[in-house]
Structure 1
């Protein structure tokens, strides 16, 4: 595994962790008791972009790991 693939795998894992955190926080925001406490973080958008980058980065590093170009 080259350094570039290792960096892509690490960045993909960090993105996957961020996506999981954003998903948990979005569910927490949806299930809040006090409807007036909306918050300011766009958890849905953070989840979408983090998951998209995780899929792409892990897919590219996995492809290189399995022998593809």
Structure 2
């Protein structure tokens, strides 16, 4: 169980990094009219929450 929760935590951290890079690119875009449709800030918050909970469950068990 610990290994699976650690892998979930690592996957969520990787998703967090991807979402942060995408959010940075969205903020620094050249064409202001191309806003996109992905809620990168929400994905960032959700992935960090999943990473923290999965790490807590992995350390507890």
TM more than 0.5: yes
**Structure 2 portions without partners, runs of 5+:** none
**Structure 1 portions without partners, runs of 5+:** 65-69
Large movers: runs of 4+ above 6 Å = none
TM-score, normalisation: structure 1? 0.82
TM-score, normalisation: structure 2? 0.92
CA RMSD, 1 decimal: 0.9
* CA–CA separation in structure 2 for the residues paired with 1:23 and 1:63: 28
* CA–CA separation in structure 1 for the residues paired with 2:38 and 2:56: 28
How far residue 59 of structure 1 moved from its aligned partner, in angstroms, is 2.1
Between 1 and 2, higher relative CO (CA 8 Å, sep ≥ 6) is seen in 2
